[in-house]
Structure 1
Amino acid sequence: MTPSVYTLQLHLPGEQVVSFHKNTNLSNLVDSTDFTKTMLTEFFAMNKRSKQARKLKCLKRRKVIGQVVTVRPNEGKRYFLRLLLSHVHAPKSFDHLLTVDGQLASSYQEAVFRLGLLQSDTYIEDALDEATAFHMPCSLRSLFAMLLIFCTPSNPFKLWEKYEADLSSDLERTSSITGCDSNYIRRYVLQDINRSLEQMGKHISDYRLVPDSLLFTEHERLTKEIESEQSVRCTEDDLMTISWLNTGQQATYNAIMSELFLPDGKSFFVDGPGGTGKTFLYRALLATLRTHGHIALAVASSGVAASILLGGRTVHSRFKIPLDASATKACQISKQSSTAKLIVVAKLILWDESSMAKRDTIEAFDLLLRDIMDSDMPFGGKVVGFGGDFRQTLPVIQNATRDIQVQSNFVSSALWSSLQKVSLKENM
């Protein structure tokens, strides 16, 4: 009962949580409220002015904070901030937490490391040593990204220095042919690691492996994204599919192609049982656009389905849709990112096996496109080709007709009515 214990509002500088009623006038709120004062900043202020607070034993405060504030290691800066709060006696500011032996550290992680609060990275190095013996460099880069996130190494820069040669050995071998210099190779490797990190909600700048000047700029990242899509080469068989379409496939092909260059295109749902040639149709659409220099994004609900499409990726990987979209329908893509700009220039988005996706996933995708395209039209006015077979979907509503079941499970009725449905027959 005494002393009273409250949950500490742990936050980084300028990132405190602000709560207000939904009907509050935001302009008046900003003018009348001092958001700089939080429980944490007042804790610092108390340590500055109160001698009694500074006499509190560090062990007691660590026990209280350790019980009340739970932060996972993969939360990065907040995790290191918590460690410092648990061990630094009577901190008076954020800068006080960063100061070790009279010197200001560049990050909370560096301060924690200099104080010796983290364990050794030997087990991480052992894992990388073993992996370098049989992993290809591209797989090693994915492993490196996972170790950064889930193992929270105490000194990521040291790991990068030690294993940079192994992480980039495939590019080093081809540098004499391509003429790439060492800086370009380093940037490419870092960007490849960053792609894996972004799929798990992190960014390479969080780990300070190299100065930010060595990373690709947003313009360069957009250029790389577009070049990556344009470098997808269609095979001769893909090009021949256009002339091999049957009657039903040709009608669907023409309907979709006619909408691609309109200002506000329609979206389609290609319905057909397995074996009616949906994938064959997708190949024809992708080949047509890519051979003319346009961007077409191919995604699928599962990794197996995505591997069948040329240049295909899972929808969660491409659009950063959360795995549990029912909790939050906010995709982790900002409007200023290179991925958002890639979506804007894309002429067509093909989503295979969309009938297997949850309704929340489709609606999160719809909200993402509306936000990026600044449009209230379904899917932001982009031409999206959904495909699938609801005959393979298990029923989830008892005593319901097929149409009601499909609408309830797939998307809301408003979105469903916006899709132009085209069917492929079994005998075609």
Structure 2
Amino acid sequence: MTRPEYMLEYCWNEFTEDIAYRLQHCRTNLGPNVSDDTLRNYALIEIENILQSNNKSLSNFPPMPIPIRSMADVTVNGLVLDELDYNVDAMREELKKYLSFISYDQKKVFDDIMEVVINDRGGLFFLYVHGGTRLNFIWKTLSTHIRSKGKTVINVAYSVIASLLLPGGRTVHSKFGLPIIVHESLTCNIKPQSPHA
């Protein structure tokens, strides 16, 4: 493309339709009240993120405008918006249903993990259970509870089948760019400053 600034000038509106749609449906409720200038800036940020994931920048293509980062927050990132693409009220209703079916032992595990999450202490939990003891039920209840608070949950599993059983589940390999064969010198394939990072 010899004159990308003209393409941007004439097509930015079409490019931002998806951004406006995602902003309407994310939890920040920015909705349709976002100005054209702000939407245009979001478009530039999106283009910049794509370019940076390929080790380029809008500054490599003068006279393309450079986005104003302070105008936008991280929710313009499509990957983040995908993680926020849920209805908080529906999550609260679903949580009530799950909590009505939870057993005593499951409730104890749920409470222990949620205490760490609520107090933002971080932690590592290993649950070892026999097949058929509703481990997925605990994960679904935890995910639903965290999402009912408007927070982000990333459900990952090592196998494709296990990931399909989790709400919004993905394999560890696809979510974090890990190779399938794991060894101690393993690193992920996510580039710094990319939207995925």
TM-score range relative to shorter protein: 0.5 to 0.7
Structure 1 position 246 matched with structure 2 position 103: yes
Per residue, is there more strand in 1 or in 2? 1
The match for 2:54 is 202
CA–CA separation in structure 2 for the residues paired with 1:204 and 1:215? 17
CA–CA separation in structure 1 for the residues paired with 2:171 and 2:61? 29
CA contact (8 A) 1:303 1:314 kept: yes
**Superposition TM-score, scaled by structure 2 size:** 0.57
Pairs aligned (count): 180
Query: Which residue among 332, 357, 373 is the counterpart of 2:190?
Result: 332
CA contact (8 A) 1:306 1:314 kept: yes
CA–CA separation in structure 2 for the residues paired with 1:189 and 1:279? 38
Query: Which residue among 15, 30, 43 is the counterpart of 1:167?
Result: 15
User: What CA deviation, in whole Å up to 9, does each residue of 1:377-424 have, x standing for no partner?
Assistant: xxxxxxxxxxxxxxxxxxxxxxxxxxxxxxxxxxxxxxxxxxxxxxxx
**SS state at 1:202 partner:** coil
User: What CA deviation, in whole Å up to 9, does each residue of 1:160-219 have, x standing for no partner?
Assistant: 5475454344567899x7133333333334545566667xx435626648422x2535x8
The match for 2:123 is 266
CA–CA separation in structure 1 for the residues paired with 2:191 and 2:171? 15
The match for 1:186 is 40
- Which structure has more relative contact order (CA 8 Å, sep 6+)? It is 2
The match for 2:27 is none
The match for 2:69 is 216
Aligned pairs for 1:3-402 within 5 A: 155=2, 157=4, 160-161=7-8, 164-170=12-18, 178-192=32-46, 201-202=53-54, 205=57, 208=61, 210-212=64-66, 214=67, 216-217=69-70, 220-222=72-74, 224=76, 228=81, 232-234=86-88, 235=90, 236-261=93-118, 265-272=122-129, 275-301=132-158, 306=163, 309-316=166-173, 318-321=175-178, 326=183, 328-329=186-187, 332=190
Shift of 1:267: 0.8
Q: Structure 1: give runs of 5+ residues left out of the alignment.
A: 1-153, 341-428
CA contact (8 A) 2:41 2:68 kept: yes
User: What CA deviation, in whole Å up to 9, does each residue of 1:227-280 have, x standing for no partner?
Assistant: 845563242224421232124422321332233356754311233455532332
CA–CA separation in structure 2 for the residues paired with 1:196 and 1:317? 18
CA–CA separation in structure 2 for the residues paired with 1:168 and 1:266? 39
CA–CA separation in structure 2 for the residues paired with 1:271 and 1:338? 34
CA–CA separation in structure 2 for the residues paired with 1:197 and 1:281? 40
CA contact (8 A) 1:238 1:284 kept: yes
The match for 1:38 is none
User: Residue 300 and residue 280 in structure 1: after superposition, are their counterparts in 2 closer, same or farther (change >3 A)?
Assistant: same
Shift of 1:329: 1.7
User: What CA deviation, in whole Å up to 9, does each residue of 1:286-329 have, x standing for no partner?
Assistant: 22223234443333446775565445455455545456765742
User: Residue 193 and residue 241 in structure 1: after superposition, are their counterparts in 2 closer, same or farther (change >3 A)?
Assistant: farther
User: Residue 324 and residue 170 in structure 1: after superposition, are their counterparts in 2 closer, same or farther (change >3 A)?
Assistant: same
**Superposition TM-score, scaled by structure 1 size:** 0.32
CA–CA separation in structure 2 for the residues paired with 1:264 and 1:310? 24
User: Residue 166 and residue 294 in structure 1: after superposition, are their counterparts in 2 closer, same or farther (change >3 A)?
Assistant: closer
Counting aligned pairs with the same residue, the percent is 23
CA–CA separation in structure 1 for the residues paired with 2:117 and 2:182? 29
CA–CA separation in structure 2 for the residues paired with 1:171 and 1:224? 7
Q: Structure 2: give runs of 5+ residues left out of the alignment.
A: 25-30
Amino acid at match of 1:298: N
**SS state at 2:133 partner:** coil
Amino acid at match of 1:232: Y
User: Residue 166 and residue 278 in structure 1: after superposition, are their counterparts in 2 closer, same or farther (change >3 A)?
Assistant: same
CA–CA separation in structure 2 for the residues paired with 1:323 and 1:168? 36
CA–CA separation in structure 2 for the residues paired with 1:222 and 1:256? 27
Larger Rg: 1
CA contact (8 A) 1:297 1:312 kept: yes
CA–CA separation in structure 1 for the residues paired with 2:51 and 2:6? 16
